[in-house]
Structure 1
Amino acid sequence: MADPISISAAVGWGVTAVGWLASPIIPRLLNKGFTVLDFNATEKLKIVDMQVLQLQRVMEVVDESTYRARLEPLLDKLRSALYEAEDILDDVEYQRLKKQAQDAKSSGSKMDSLKKTLRSAMPRSLLKDKTRFSFPDSVGQFKHLRYFAFVVTAFVGLTLPGAFTKLYHMQVVDFGSCHCLDFSRGEDMMNLVNLRSVISWADFDFPNVGRLIWLQTPPFFRIRREQGYEPHQLKHLNKLQGKLLICGLENVQSKEDALEVDLAGKEKLTKVVLSWDDDSCSPEVEAEVLEGLCPSKYLERLELWNYDGARLPSWMMGKHNGSPKNLKELTFRGWIQLGPAPDLGAFIHLQSLILYNCNWDALAGNIEHLTSLKTLIIESCKNMRSLPTLPNSLEEIKVRYCSE
């Protein structure tokens, strides 16, 4: 089992759980608690810290467990409670500093320094209405910084100054649910040669990411027809683990270019999402590109978004020795090709099959041979008129918004 303190210790739903459990939320509460709480309260926080680590160990193995449905709402409540507690302590600290500023009789540089400290201590609750936050250049003074967390909601944009690229020891940056992340000098981000993990929902929007060879968990990568954003930027990032979303595949023009991504060499990835963002690419080219995107044989989850190819690649048909034959979850979103769904008989270990907004009129007739299949979800597949014989192993079937 991987080190339970590692941010990327688990996969799938467990990645989300362990990701925030492993973040320093409890140490942050402890540090603030020593300032504004009594001894008993901080001792209780230490107990909570140990319990969270124990819960983290459980999350590493619960991803495929039937207890997931029970634990997920409890985990959400715990997460909310911890962050609310941190907000409360932030508010207390802010008010303490505010009173200190009001009571201070000093002036000049000392007062200016106090005001700066006060502004930096403003809690997240006071930033919720802001649409953008820009970090000052002074962030570059923290030369030895290795972990940087500034967790915001999806509605808050962040701008990082050029000085951020001078933090050469940086290993982990956490921006929470941020969807809009700008780099003042994005071309210099490649200087962060020790960067391991980026936690964010924003585009990994800076060039030459391929030079960050220690990178383990980028949020996702968008391929463009621009220098620095080519498919080969992912070629040597074989330490990537957990989930990887690759967008902009319409900008890949051939199987040879797709092979430059070297998905097969990224053996620590457990989930891969491949997305075509528009229909500017012909179905023939898309099929060739997907042929070159064969993932590692250890892959557990695969999603194809807006794939318009007329066929599945050979590695999904059991004709490739290195194909992910142990795939457990397969999702298709937005496949426009008409006719029946393709044969998936090669994935004998498949446990979950999910179809969203696909134009197929029927499932493959041999789906009953997928004897490990437990979950079948078919949603917004308007042409689906009937289902074939299904495997007896199924525990959950959802069919919604189909057959108008």
Structure 2
Amino acid sequence: MELLDDAEEKQISKPAVRKWVDELKDAVYEADDLLDEIATKLCDRSWKLDISIRNFNSHPSLEVIGKEIMRKCQGLPLAVKSLGVSCDTKRGIGEWKKILKSNMWDLLNDDILPALKFSYHYLPSHLKQCFAYSAIFSKDYVFEKEELILLWMAEGFLVQPNEDMEMEEIGDEYFENLVSRSFFQRSSFHLSCFVMHDLVNDLAKFVSGDFCFRLEGDNSCKIPKRTRHLSYVKTEYDASRKNENIYEAQLLRTFLLAEWSCIDNKVMHDLLPRLRRLRVLSLAQNRSITELPYSIGNLKHLRYLNLSATSIIRLPEIVSTLYNLQTLILCQCKDLVELPSKLRRLINLCHLDIRETLLREMPSQMGKLTKLARLTDFFVKQNGGSSITELGKLQHLHGQLCIWNLQDVLDVRDAMETDLKGKKHLKELELRWNGDADCSLHEKDILEQLQPHTSLECLSIVGYGYSRFPDWVGDSSFSNIVSLKLGGCKHCCSLPPFGQLASLKDLSIREFDGVVAIGPEFYGSCVSMMRPFSSLQILRFEMMPQWREWISYVEDSGAFPLLQQLYIRECPNLTKALPSNLPSLTTLEIEGCQQLVASIPKSPSILRMKLKDDSRLLRLMKLSHGLYHFVVIGFHFLDSVLEEMEQMGGLFTALEEIEINNCDSLRCFPLELFCKLKTLRISRCPNLTSLFAPEADHADFTSLSSIEIRECPNLVSFSMGGLPIPNLTRLLLMGCSNTESFPGKMLLSSTLTSLKIWDFPNLQYLDYKGLQHLTSLRELEICKCLSFSPFQKGFALSLLRCLLCPLLEKSGNKRKGKIGPRFLTSPTWRLISRMSIDSVVNLMRRKKMRVRAKRLISLCSFILSAITIILFSLDFKLLDALFVYMYLLISPVIQKSVDLMSS
């Protein structure tokens, strides 16, 4: 491919050159495939013989040119940044003049920005093909760095400059180079993932030409003969001609089935025999795939096979003959129980991802996979499968590794042979026992020999059975560890000296039944000027039934200087002594610690606090002035706590969210104490009768915008003056069983946009006089109100949107939301009522429907209810589709009527 460099630079603007390059690429692909076939035959024969084998301002002379180029970029930051970085090394004024005067700025025959074309033009040839390959990703597709690197590796795009450099390192270098040029951008929603800007995606599609093709949406046209890389977005409603198009594309090297697309076993049986030149096959996230056809063995060029999140149970043995396979991804195959027994034959396998499967043992002789760089899980078994000693032969392991069933390691020497200490590229290690050990010294000896390299960053130990840990756990030499999780170590009676781990940021201790006290040993003997837990940001203690006391090593030792989040859950015997000073603490959650009597740690920056089932703690608490989110669950003395809050006066000026659950003692909530409150949630407080004190002044509640009250059956009023909160936009009331009319005398703010009333079994109607002033109301929901009738005289029809009966709800659930959201989530539709069939029948008996234009919406709703009753009584499973069709047919009529009456 290096021979095509010069031609690649000219093909954008010269169609003749582009055509010639395309034809030459065809020949290169053919030659590459032929070499593959020869290598495969040699490998096959060896197995039969049982052989193991910038910035313009810093250059004043360029400032004028730079400003003119920026003008040509039309002010788009993406174009400016991409062009600037791509040409950063070409500082000469002549080079920049050539860019400014290039006729590429005047090409208007497509929608590609010229600045982005320049960016691509200045890419090195090896990056050009890597970028062009990304054209198979649809717009808005979110991808991980490793995903794309493995695809590049499978296609042979990664050029290894020397044997000392791993392919993954090369791919990482390529990827970061493209990120620096803004071809890839970090996702706003998934920080570990990346996306392509739509304009960049268009560029990739343009420069890839026919070699990359996306079969998606209405694009069911014939696949070009030159297409080598295909992504396929298919739904269950697609016509079969899309499949037929793929059958004819027999020169494909890449076939990517988009996530959640639908393709079944039969299509796979028909398709794979035709695609013999595939290097990449991805069927990820397709639950319809339960097996691979035997013809998978014909894909001798296959390097990448992704079956993640499919329903496959086992791989056929023929997979072991795919000697070129580099990547095998089986994560989240929750039905997978077995790997091919001769997996050891895949001598080129580099990546094996088997997370979240039902696998419980490994094929024998895994140590022969000497190129294996990533192995997510290894299962130890006493009899059969691979011994743990096989791990010692896998010298190139990096990334993460979880070793299961360590209770089955009978010989300490086997653990020693794993040589984890020599695997310096391993970053995450999880060691798991089954937790049934009887405090045997043998387990300590095993863990002693499983000591990893000090470059390890994340360590997890689960189910370890001895009373103490070996010395290496918590040793200060592990200065790179940032995350440490220990769980299910039920016989352990003391904690290692984790305080001396200089880089530790996240520490979780769970299910340590034998720990009674945490004392000086936990902090360690920190040398020099380092304070204990100098980098720790998150600390969790959970399910420690015997833990009674937390003793600080030195009162003024300055431990936990950076701790931001502290969680203590289900420690019922913990009685006293939390750390007194946590200067950086922002979040505190204490749950299930009924005996705890202690002051809240002093912290000027605490923002969020959650306290659950703690009947005594709050009596001594002193809250931060900056607290904005406060959750209380299951307190028996909450009234006295609220009284203490009232006495503390102005401490709550910043409090924005309050959530109170399961507090029997709460009778009246002093809303007037919290002048900056924005959100209030109260649930399952059976004795709550009012939200305001009798003398409360409501004029200051300008910040309160959302109120949720659930399952408070005795709440009969908000105040004598109703609820005149000036900026309230959202009100949810649920489970008020004694209410018959709403809002009645209770006044609502005219700013209300969403009103939801759920589970009012005795609610018969809405007092429309209490609603008619709600000019901002956009959403009205009435759910599980069995006696409710929306057709009372004078009811505002503009509020009525849809009566949804149980059969439709059942139909939507059965299809897992594939049909229901199709119309229920439309911006012009709002769910108003889920009523039982009996309530619909009663409604029909009570009301005489009049067919007039002004009541057309009511008539349509009546028709839908009648259809539902008929279909439900017949109980024909296939007739629910007819109901959905009728609903879709009538819905526009309803909406048109609403619009006419609103105007």
Same fold by TM (over 0.5)? yes
Q: Could you tell me whether the CA contact under 8 Å between 1:223 and 1:247 is conserved in 2?
A: yes
Deviation at residue 117 of structure 1 after TM alignment: 3.4
Deviations 1:49-72 (A, max 9, x none): x99963999999x9xxxxxxx956
Given the alignment, which residue of 161, 172, 180 partners 2:316?
161
Deviations 1:16-74 (A, max 9, x none): 9434454659x99xxxxxxxxxxxxxxxxxxxxx99963999999x9xxxxxxx95656
Deviations 1:290-315 (A, max 9, x none): 01111001101110001111211122
Q: Tell me the distance in 1 between the aligned counterparts of 2:465 and 2:181.
A: 40
Q: Look up the match of 2:465.
A: 308
Deviation at residue 147 of structure 1 after TM alignment: 1.1
Given the alignment, which residue of 521, 525, 544 partners 1:381?
544
Residues 273/97 of structure 1: CA separation in 2 closer, same or farther (3 Å cut): same
Q: Could you tell me whether the CA contact under 8 Å between 2:269 and 2:295 is conserved in 1?
A: no
Deviations 1:270-305 (A, max 9, x none): 010000024256521111100111100110111000
1:396 aligns with 2:565: yes
Deviation at residue 207 of structure 1 after TM alignment: 1.6
Structure 2 gaps, min length 5: 1-126, 131-142, 156-174, 197-213, 218-231, 245-265, 276-281, 524-530, 553-558, 573-592, 594-903
Q: Could you tell me whether the CA contact under 8 Å between 2:374 and 2:398 is conserved in 1?
A: yes
> Which AA in structure 1 matches 2:562?
S
Q: What does 1:248-397 correspond to in 2, within 5 Å?
A: 248-280=405-437, 282-316=439-473, 318=475, 324-337=478-491, 339-359=493-513, 360-365=515-520, 366-367=522-523, 369-389=532-552, 390-397=559-566
Q: Tell me the distance in 1 between the aligned counterparts of 2:299 and 2:457.
A: 39
Query: Secondary structure in 2 aligned to 1:244?
Result: strand
Q: Could you tell me whether the CA contact under 8 Å between 1:98 and 1:118 is conserved in 2?
A: no
Query: Secondary structure in 2 aligned to 1:221?
Result: strand
Q: Tell me the distance in 2 between the aligned counterparts of 1:243 and 1:172.
A: 15
1:205 aligns with 2:368: no
Q: Could you tell me whether the CA contact under 8 Å between 1:361 and 1:384 is conserved in 2?
A: yes
Q: Tell me the distance in 1 between the aligned counterparts of 2:475 and 2:267.
A: 65
Q: Tell me the distance in 1 between the aligned counterparts of 2:216 and 2:512.
A: 44
Q: Look up the match of 2:580.
A: none
Q: Look up the match of 1:18.
A: 145
Q: Tell me the distance in 1 between the aligned counterparts of 2:563 and 2:145.
A: 29
Q: Could you tell me whether the CA contact under 8 Å between 1:94 and 1:118 is conserved in 2?
A: no
Residues 120/355 of structure 1: CA separation in 2 closer, same or farther (3 Å cut): farther
Q: Tell me the distance in 1 between the aligned counterparts of 2:181 and 2:537.
A: 26
Q: Tell me the distance in 1 between the aligned counterparts of 2:216 and 2:177.
A: 19
Deviations 1:202-223 (A, max 9, x none): 3363121111011111220011
Residues 113/382 of structure 1: CA separation in 2 closer, same or farther (3 Å cut): closer
Residues 362/120 of structure 1: CA separation in 2 closer, same or farther (3 Å cut): farther
Q: Look up the match of 2:334.
A: 179
Aligned length: 340
Query: Secondary structure in 2 aligned to 1:215?
Result: coil
Give identity over the alignment, percent: 23
Query: Secondary structure in 2 aligned to 1:133?
Result: coil
Q: Tell me the distance in 1 between the aligned counterparts of 2:539 and 2:548.
A: 16
Deviations 1:61-105 (A, max 9, x none): x9xxxxxxx9565668979xxxxx99865326983434786xxxx
Residues 236/99 of structure 1: CA separation in 2 closer, same or farther (3 Å cut): closer
> Which AA in structure 2 matches 1:383?
Q
Q: What does 1:40-59 correspond to in 2, within 5 Å?
A: 54=179
Given the alignment, which residue of 139, 142, 158 partners 2:296?
139
Q: Could you tell me whether the CA contact under 8 Å between 2:435 and 2:465 is conserved in 1?
A: no
> Which AA in structure 2 matches 1:91?
K
Q: Look up the match of 2:834.
A: none
Query: Secondary structure in 2 aligned to 1:190?
Result: helix
> Which AA in structure 1 matches 2:390?
Q
Query: Secondary structure in 2 aligned to 1:370?
Result: coil
Deviation at residue 388 of structure 1 after TM alignment: 3.5
Q: Look up the match of 2:393.
A: 236
Deviations 1:99-149 (A, max 9, x none): 786xxxxxxxxxx9999239999x979953x5x711111111111211112
> Which AA in structure 1 matches 2:533?
L
Q: Tell me the distance in 2 between the aligned counterparts of 1:236 and 1:118.
A: 35
Residues 250/165 of structure 1: CA separation in 2 closer, same or farther (3 Å cut): same
Given the alignment, which residue of 238, 246, 250 partners 1:95?
238
Q: Tell me the distance in 2 between the aligned counterparts of 1:267 and 1:200.
A: 22
Q: Tell me the distance in 2 between the aligned counterparts of 1:282 and 1:58.
A: 55
Q: Could you tell me whether the CA contact under 8 Å between 1:250 and 1:281 is conserved in 2?
A: no
Return 257-266 or 390-399, whichever deviates more.
390-399
Query: Secondary structure in 2 aligned to 1:165?
Result: helix
Q: Could you tell me whether the CA contact under 8 Å between 1:160 and 1:182 is conserved in 2?
A: no
Deviation at residue 196 of structure 1 after TM alignment: 0.3
Q: Tell me the distance in 1 between the aligned counterparts of 2:215 and 2:242.
A: 20
Query: Secondary structure in 2 aligned to 1:246?
Result: strand
Q: Tell me the distance in 2 between the aligned counterparts of 1:57 and 1:163.
A: 42
Q: Tell me the distance in 2 between the aligned counterparts of 1:126 and 1:211.
A: 30
Q: Tell me the distance in 2 between the aligned counterparts of 1:182 and 1:338.
A: 33
Q: Tell me the distance in 2 between the aligned counterparts of 1:191 and 1:349.
A: 41
Query: Secondary structure in 1 aligned to 2:550?
Result: coil
Q: Tell me the distance in 1 between the aligned counterparts of 2:274 and 2:433.
A: 41
Q: Look up the match of 1:65.
A: none
Q: Tell me the distance in 1 between the aligned counterparts of 2:336 and 2:465.
A: 30
Deviation at residue 325 of structure 1 after TM alignment: 3.6
Residues 190/55 of structure 1: CA separation in 2 closer, same or farther (3 Å cut): farther
Q: Tell me the distance in 2 between the aligned counterparts of 1:271 and 1:58.
A: 30
Given the alignment, which residue of 184, 194, 213 partners 2:348?
194
Q: Could you tell me whether the CA contact under 8 Å between 1:342 and 1:363 is conserved in 2?
A: no
Deviation at residue 383 of structure 1 after TM alignment: 2.6
Q: Look up the match of 2:883.
A: none
Q: Could you tell me whether the CA contact under 8 Å between 2:538 and 2:563 is conserved in 1?
A: yes
Q: Tell me the distance in 1 between the aligned counterparts of 2:509 and 2:353.
A: 28
> Which AA in structure 1 matches 2:466?
G
Query: Secondary structure in 2 aligned to 1:235?
Result: helix
Deviation at residue 250 of structure 1 after TM alignment: 0.3
Residues 94/272 of structure 1: CA separation in 2 closer, same or farther (3 Å cut): same
Q: Could you tell me whether the CA contact under 8 Å between 2:273 and 2:295 is conserved in 1?
A: no
Q: Could you tell me whether the CA contact under 8 Å between 1:246 and 1:275 is conserved in 2?
A: yes
The alignment's TM-score, normalised by the length of structure 2, stands at: 0.33
> Which AA in structure 2 matches 1:194?
N
